[in-house]
Chain A
Amino acid sequence: MAKQQSTLTSLWTQTHHSNIDDSVIILSDDDDLAFQPPVKKVACNQDISVLKAVSSKKAIQWVSSSFGDFEKDVDRCHNKPSSASASFLNKKSTFKSSQSHAGKREGTVSSSNNSSLNHIKQKANTDLWSDKFAPKIQSALAVHKKKIAEVEAWMQQQLIANTKRSSMLLLTGPAGVGKTATVRVLAQELKFELQEWINPITSQYSGTFSVEENPIHRTDKRYDAPLSESQLKLFQDFILRASRYNSLDIFGSNSAGKKILLVEDFPNIFFRDAASFHEILRKYRQTGGNPIIFIVSDSTRGESNQRLLFPQELQQNLHIDNISFNPIAMTSMIKVLSKIASTEAAQKGGTFECPSKSVIESLAMSSAGDIRAAVNALQFACLKGICDKRRDRTSKGQHGKSKPVDPNKNFLKCKKSAKVLDLETSAEAELAAIGGRDTSLFLFRALGKILYCKREDPSTCENLPALPPHLSQYYRDPLQIYPEDVVEKSHLSGEYFTAYLHQNYMEFFSELEDVVQASEYLSCADFLTINWATRSALQDYAVSVATRGIVFCNTSKARHSSSGSGLGWKPLHKPQCYTTAKMVRENLENASFFFKGYSWHPDVLHTEIIPYLSLTNTTLHDPGQIRFVQEMCRYSSHQIKSSERLNEQDVDIMETEDHEDYGMRKNNSIGSFPCTGMEVPSLGLPVDADDDIPSSQPDVKNIPPDDDDVVIEDYDD
């Protein structure tokens, strides 16, 4: 036991000579207890040291962010207590080690050194390539040139313009398309100082913990105290103050350049309470200061942060520029990936197996424009190559058990040994499993895929089943897409997707016969889901019928060569049937509100009573009734209301909107009549609706209201 203890202490002191602090360890007096944690701590300390080295190196390469000096600062802070503790420890350890054999100690130290070296090597291998090969110059960026130019133009404008009002830029786009990288690279090139907001880790619980456990930590708590302020407050302070004060010029950073604030990491509170965020922005806009860049990643799901944090009207009010990034193009992605692979191969020499071109291509394909994911997938894929090599070597018995085996690799190894089949195909499948992610499509593109239905050249495909001659009219070239796949990727329920298709399919058809068939397929799709008990199950089939029906029926696009002929770009619209349904519901509700004294069925009310009310000179007591009747009898004969256009990045949020709107209307409709987008003439007196109101209207006003033969007492409370 004593031996063990001594070796551990020596190991411990050894690591503490490398200036890494762990003050917790010192504090417990009980040796037996104290020695349990250090073993773990050592390992993790080493991790930290390696990571620190890498990250600080990175910071220098990358861009000297204002937090770079913060990191150094942290290091410095850590240095002091750690050196103190080290000296304290040294005493302790010398006291302990005096009891143990020196030779033994020597041995353990060397071995520990060895292992730590190994560890560093290992780390360097597994450092994320997306960080390692992060672009440093503008030409290395995989982002489209135009986008870079746009951002650059904005930044240069900030450099020149010295306005009081601070300008803001909002960068949007899917994750991993190089938004942050672009900003960093450009900031470096234009000599901007980048100050980034990073959500602080609130130390509330650790504070209470330390109070209970050890009294010395109480002093630390004083430093924690400002951190336990609300994130909102901190963020506000950051935004408002960061621009005021220059960073201290201790470390010789280029503080001469202008500063740009970068906010990518929004405090969580703003997602719940976006209004306070808007408030801070307004305040900032007014007080002025350095330009801010916000980066928000899109998502194809409904809960878009951009909508929440930067609603359209806020963007307009505060003149926030918006630049949206597109997914990285395949060609530039492949270029970057192969470049990384080749540099890596050059660095590693013989041990590294450069992945083949097809592998890189399939990786790029499966990453769906996310370059970060693609690079990481590439790294992972190459790792497997190494692993294979290593396995070969271990089987030859050249290498011992010295190298630790990652569980992941182990898993892959098992998989590999299980599959000794065709190497190429299995590799492909596995790559998809590595780099592939669930790709998704924006609604706009999903609809386009169905409606434009691109087809493949049949000569390139083999083994196409041939149709007998009498069915040749039904021949279509093979599709490039799988309709079901498209629907699935659109993240929309089948019903909604069909509604969108229905709204838009007609413009893509030129033959009436085709439209007849397509509309019948849509009708079938609806008919399939009539039974609510089986609806959820049949929904998929229904949407399949609808999409495939529409694709099939469009005979003008039956051949691959005919696709896109004479069609060009067409705008897509949001389905009218939901807005119509909403308006019907509203109108019905209003009708039953205004005419609740009369027990007519809604059908009768709308097809008979209300139309004739407008034709007869009946006195209506309620101005709301008069307006309602007028409105319900006005038909737009020529002007066709075009429904809302669909934007490229729109996601379907109709359902929620619908619901909110519905509730709001319901409240409004009590007492006042909601005038939904239609022109409502001023009270009682028609402005432009002479034909709607009988000519005897003035006389009618003088007629006292007759007593109804049905006395209705209104107990409505």
Chain B
Amino acid sequence: MSLWVDKHRPTSLNKLDYHKDQASRLKMLVQSGDFPHLLVYGPSGSGKKTRIMCLLRELYGSGVEKLRIEQNSFTTPSNKKIEISTISSNYHIEVNPSDAGNSDRVVIQELIKTVAQVNQLETSTQKEFKVVVLTEVDRLTKDAQHALRRTMEKYMATCRLILCCNSTSKVIPAIHSRCLGIRVAAPTIEEISQILQSTCKKEGLNLPLELAKKIAVKSNRNLRRALLMCEACRVQQYPFSPDQEVAEPDWELYLKETAGMIVQQQSPKRLLEVRARLYELLTHCIPPDVIMKGLLQELITNCDGQLKTEVVQNAAFFEHRLQLGQKAIYHLEAFVAKFMAIYKRFFEEGIADLF
């Protein structure tokens, strides 16, 4: 299986399509022989991972592309076994410590210790440090982040960390200040449509500019998404027509339907139906915050100006709880109920004004 997203992923810093200035700076950084810990952040689908892989290739050559998957198991002090899969080459190791849940601290400490204690084989030809890539750093517990801070300093000699996250707001300042922050901004609509067109050219297809723009807008400046959409369009219809529909994933359609149901009728019975649909979405591994966001975006289009602020305020209130709480469904449901009440009140007032 190879999606266009994988197939046409740029492999070197030179080949990157946008933020070229930043790419050349990274190249300079590598050429200077050494580099600090990095904190790469930016929205989803902006090419953080691609950039990191390019950087590693620049550092170690094509050897980093020989990847293997390993299952590492760690034992917590409370004798609980944790299995974590890592992707590694001879020069680097990539791990998503948030898979470990609450005991991510152990994973981070053990993993970095084992990696850092083994020196590179040939220091003469290779760099003398290894790289540990940690993804989803913003999902780490505070405990793990503090552990990371200490580990970073301790093993500076033999290993470098590249941290990757969507937002730095959940990364503690202590880590933030120890790393060189690299922000990878989402590509602009123009950049995306250009990439889409060049990708299609490589595939031997002809993509009209209008459709490329349409996809780019619809993808919400998420390049990965844009490429996937483009590929879906290709399956849907070829040759492309400029006014063709851009396919959306099923869950989004389902979510939109759900939002429609909420606007249609406001009653406890309907809320019960909505709850069942929310459960269905959750079962399909759609993260609750994504559901909340999607719902709000759909619902807000049905609201008038004054109402919008109230709805958004409530959404923010419950989203905050949702992030902190354990039972997402309580908060999602509370938000839906609140929206129903607001909307119903607004509607009844509107009718009262008419007469």
Contact = CB atoms under 8 A, between A and B. Distances in A.
Contacts of A613: 1, 3
Contacts of B337: 512, 515-516, 519-520
B344 interface: yes
B247 A526 contact: no
A635 B254 contact: yes
A359 interface: no
A608 interface: yes
A530 B326 contact: yes
Contact of A502 (B232, B249, B330): B330
Interface in A627-641: 632-637, 640-641
Nearest to B222: A608
A583 B283 contact: yes
Q: Shortest 10 CB-CB distances between A and B: which pairs? A: A611-B249, A612-B228, A615-B232, A640-B276, A606-B285, A519-B334, A523-B334, A526-B325, A530-B324, A519-B337
Interface in B246-296: 247, 249-252, 254, 257, 266-268, 271-273, 275-277, 279-287, 290
A522 B330 CA distance: 6
Interface in A688-717: 694, 696, 705-706, 708-716
Interface in B214-247: 222, 224-225, 228-229, 231-232, 234-236, 247
B71 interface: yes
Contact of B229 (A522, A588, A607, A612): A612
> Which of under 10, 10 to 19, 20 to 34, or 35 or more describes the interface residues of A?
35 or more
Contacts of B330: 502, 519, 522-523, 525-526
Given A523-B321, A523-B334, A611-B250, A592 B232 contact: no
Contacts of B266: 512
Contacts of A516: 334, 337-338, 340-341
B68 A712 contact: yes
B344 A614 contact: no
B69 A512 contact: no
A575 B74 CA distance: 33
B58 interface: no
A169 B333 CA distance: 46
Interface in B1-58: 1-3, 6-7, 9, 11, 44-45, 49
Interface in B53-112: 65-71, 85, 87, 94, 96, 102
A506 interface: yes
Interface of A: 499, 502, 506-507, 509-513, 515-516, 519-520, 522-523, 525-527, 529-530, 532, 576-577, 580, 583-584, 587-588, 591-592, 596-599, 601-604, 606-609, 611-621, 625, 632-637, 640-641, 694, 696, 705-706, 708-716
A523 B334 CA distance: 7
B285 A529 contact: no
Nearest to B8: A709
A278 to B, nearest CB: 34
B329 interface: yes
B1 A621 contact: yes
B249 A607 contact: yes
B271 A506 contact: yes
Most-contacted residue by chain A among B11, B249, B282, B286 (CB, 10 A) = B249
Chain B contact residues, majority secondary structure: helix
Contacts of B2: 618, 706, 708-709
B151 to A, nearest CB: 22
B135 interface: yes
Contacts of B333: 502, 519, 522
B140 to A, nearest CB: 14
Given A506-B268, A522-B334, A601-B136, A592 B231 contact: no
Contact of A512 (B71, B276, B340): B340
A479 B257 CA distance: 41
B224 A616 contact: no
B41 to A, nearest CB: 14
Interface residues of B, number: 76
B318 interface: yes
B136 A608 contact: no
Contact of A632 (B136, B231, B284): B284
Contacts of B334: 516, 519-520, 522-523
23 contacts: A502-B333, A507-B272, A513-B341, A515-B337, A522-B330, A527-B324, A591-B285, A601-B96, A604-B44, A612-B3, A612-B249, A613-B3, A620-B1, A635-B284, A640-B273, A641-B276, A641-B280, A708-B2, A710-B67, A711-B67, A712-B68, A713-B68, A716-B69
B331 interface: yes
Contact of B268 (A510, A527, A608): A510
Contacts of A526: 321, 325-327, 330-331
A625 B3 CA distance: 15
- Residue from B1, B66, B228 whose CB has the most chain A CB atoms within 10 Å: B1
Contacts of A614: 250
A225 to B, nearest CB: 46
Contacts of A519: 330, 333-334, 337-338
B93 to A, nearest CB: 12
Most B-side CB within 10 Å, residue of A499, A583, A587, A608? A608
A615 B247 contact: yes
A607 B135 contact: no
A709 B11 contact: yes
A520 B283 contact: no
B69 A715 contact: yes
A696 B235 contact: yes
Nearest to B95: A599
Given A526-B330, A694-B235, A715 B249 contact: no
B3 A616 contact: yes
A142 B287 CA distance: 56
Contacts of A499: 327
Contacts of B66: 711, 713
B224 A608 contact: yes
B224 A604 contact: yes
A607 B251 contact: yes
A713 B67 contact: yes
Contact of B272 (A506, A529, A635): A506
B267 A512 contact: yes
Contacts of B275: 506
Contacts of B250: 611, 614, 633-635
Interface in B167-215: none
B67 A611 contact: no
Most buried by A among B66, B232, B283, B341: B283
A530 B257 CA distance: 32
